[in-house]
């Protein structure tokens, strides 16, 4: 991944928390949505944990991809 990513947690309705994973430019301004929650979580902490798991998976996927290309 060439650009930083940002995890954002929003509460669009009381008691429903959604995470969004954004690709940002070098200055941290959002450029595009990479992934987002399909369903709201009951707590901020649950949404943060779910978003963090997806962010970690996205980072691992993008770190592994160049290594696989280099091995060819």
Q: Given this model, what pLDDT does residue 68 score? A: 60
Model pTM score: 0.79
Cα(21)–Cα(9) distance, integer angstroms: 9
Task: Give residue-wise pLDDT tens across range 18-59.
Answer: 999 999 988 888 899 999 999 999 999 999 999 999 999 988
Where do the domains of the chain lie?
A: 5-71
Cα(58)–Cα(35) distance, integer angstroms: 9
Q: What is the pLDDT confidence band of residue 10, given thresholds at 50, 70 and 90?
A: very high
């Amino acid at each position: 991944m060439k650009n930083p990513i940002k995890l954002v947690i929003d509460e669009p309705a009381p008691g429903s928390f959604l995470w969004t994973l954004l690709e940002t430019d070098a200055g941290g301004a959002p450029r595009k949505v990479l992934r987002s929650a399909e369903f709201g979580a009951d707590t901020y902490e649950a949404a943060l944990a779910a978003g963090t798991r997806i962010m970690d998976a996205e980072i691992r996927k993008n770190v592994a991809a160049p290594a696989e290309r280099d091995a060819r």
